[in-house]
């Protein structure tokens, strides 16, 4: 006899008392993200059947070509979060600036801002490879009933109240934390409900997978090159296996389950790396630390970095604790 699994809605209600703030808005906010994720998932699964794959013909503020599904996912998440009157501001990787939501209304008591990468790895859509959504949630720092400002978004990662991702893969999963461990929920597409399938997710302390774009190897700092050679060396439990999907959500998700490290270092072409601190690194760092992992820029804890701009980029090393500490050792040799 199969045991009835807990739904995401039931889980949120049951665990609401463990949230730092228990007024109910955070629960409603996560429910809104769940709803938008289901809508985007439905569209992702139609790729190839309708005209939603390929480039949209525009570039975003990052200077990257927008895919049609980038634009679609961005619109859906902003529309859903705005219509449900839960947040006072949204910042998206696809928008030049943050979006203020009725925050000039003195009766508006919404406390939360959301930072989001609506469709991570969207260039993989055309070839049917897993993509995802990453989200990060903070309490605003400016007074209620006043317009949100950049200060509400430029908060250190250690101030996050919740973070998570949705992976649109062979099955669709929503994985999130509110600072009390990491739990994963799998979508049953027949009835449109997420069920708790991966309770208390944890990174193994060690792993055998390293995930990095080795096409950039020649441009990496020497410490990172040495670590990659260390991973490839036949000694003890090595060589490790190289696995790189090119979608942060997918690489992170696999490494959390199997044990491994994800790396996007700075290199000679991009001195700050490629990944965005606020939309990608901070939420993934929060999840990693809640799942017994570690996230670093090679020197410093990711969540202790002071943000200075909305689309700030940082080098990123994240995954099994011992593996991240080992790459930090190699990098430190050349400081």
Annotated binding residue 244: yes
- Asked if residues 152 and 185 have their Cβ atoms less than 8 Å apart, the reply is no
Annotated binding residue 65: no
Annotated binding residue 223: no
C-alpha 225/C-alpha 217 separation (Å) is: 7
Closest CA to 131 of 176, 94, 168: 168
**What are the structure tokens assigned to 324, written together?**
């991240």
Annotated binding residue 320: no
Cα–Cα distances in angstroms (integers) from residue 154 to residues 61, 80, 308, 324, in the given order: 17, 23, 7, 26
- Which residue intervals of 196-281 are DSSP H helices? 222-232, 248-258
Q: What is the DSSP letter of 181?
A: -
Annotated binding residue 119: yes
Annotated binding residue 247: no
Annotated binding residue 117: yes
**What are the structure tokens assigned to 261, written together?**
């490290």
**What are the structure tokens assigned to 293, written together?**
């992992």
Annotated binding residue 122: yes
C-alpha 137/C-alpha 73 separation (Å) is: 18
Annotated binding residue 93: yes
> Based on C-alpha coordinates, what's the Rg of the chain?
19
CB atoms within 10 A of CB 291: 21
C-alpha 65/C-alpha 179 separation (Å) is: 34
CB atoms within 10 A of CB 289: 22
List the binding residues: 93, 117, 119-123, 213, 244, 274, 280
List the binding residues for Mg(2+): 93, 117, 119-120, 280
List the binding residues for substrate: 120-123, 213, 244, 274
């Amino acid at each position: 006899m199969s045991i009835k699994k807990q739904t995401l809605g039931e889980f949120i209600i049951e665990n609401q008392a463990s949230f730092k703030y228990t007024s109910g808005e955070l629960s409603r906010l996560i429910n809104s993200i769940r709803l938008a994720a289901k809508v985007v998932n439905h569209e992702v699964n139609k790729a190839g059947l309708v005209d939603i794959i390929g480039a949209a013909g525009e570039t975003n503020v990052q200077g990257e070509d927008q895919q049609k599904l980038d634009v679609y996912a961005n619109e859906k998440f902003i529309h859903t979060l705005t219509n449900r009157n839960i947040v006072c501001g949204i910042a998206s990787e696809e928008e030049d600036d943050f979006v203020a939501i009725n925050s000039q209304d003195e009766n508006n008591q919404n406390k939360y801002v959301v930072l989001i990468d609506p469709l991570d790895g969207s260039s993989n859509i055309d070839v049917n490879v897993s993509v995802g959504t990453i989200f990060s949630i903070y309490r605003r720092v400016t007074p209620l009933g006043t317009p949100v400002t950049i200060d509400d978004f430029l908060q250190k990662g250690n101030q996050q109240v919740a973070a998570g991702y949705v992976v649109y893969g062979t099955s669709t999963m929503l994985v999130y934390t509110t600072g009390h461990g990491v739990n994963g929920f799998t979508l049953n597409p027949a009835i449109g409900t997420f069920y708790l399938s991966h309770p208390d997710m944890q990174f193994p302390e060690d792993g055998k997978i390293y995930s990095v774009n080795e096409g950039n190897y020649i441009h990496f700092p020497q410490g990172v090159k040495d670590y990659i050679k260390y991973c490839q060396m036949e000694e003890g439990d090595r060589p490790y296996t190289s696995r790189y999907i090119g979608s942060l959500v997918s690489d992170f998700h696999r490494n959390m389950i199997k044990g491994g490290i994800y790396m996007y270092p700075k290199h000679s072409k991009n001195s700050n790396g490629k990944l965005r601190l606020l939309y990608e690194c901070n939420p993934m760092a929060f999840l990693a630390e809640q799942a017994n992992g570690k996230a670093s820029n090679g020197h410093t804890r990711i969540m202790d970095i002071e943000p200075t701009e909305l689309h700030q980029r940082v080098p990123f090393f994240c995954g099994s604790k011992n593996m991240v500490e080992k790459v930090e050792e190699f990098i430190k040799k050349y400081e």
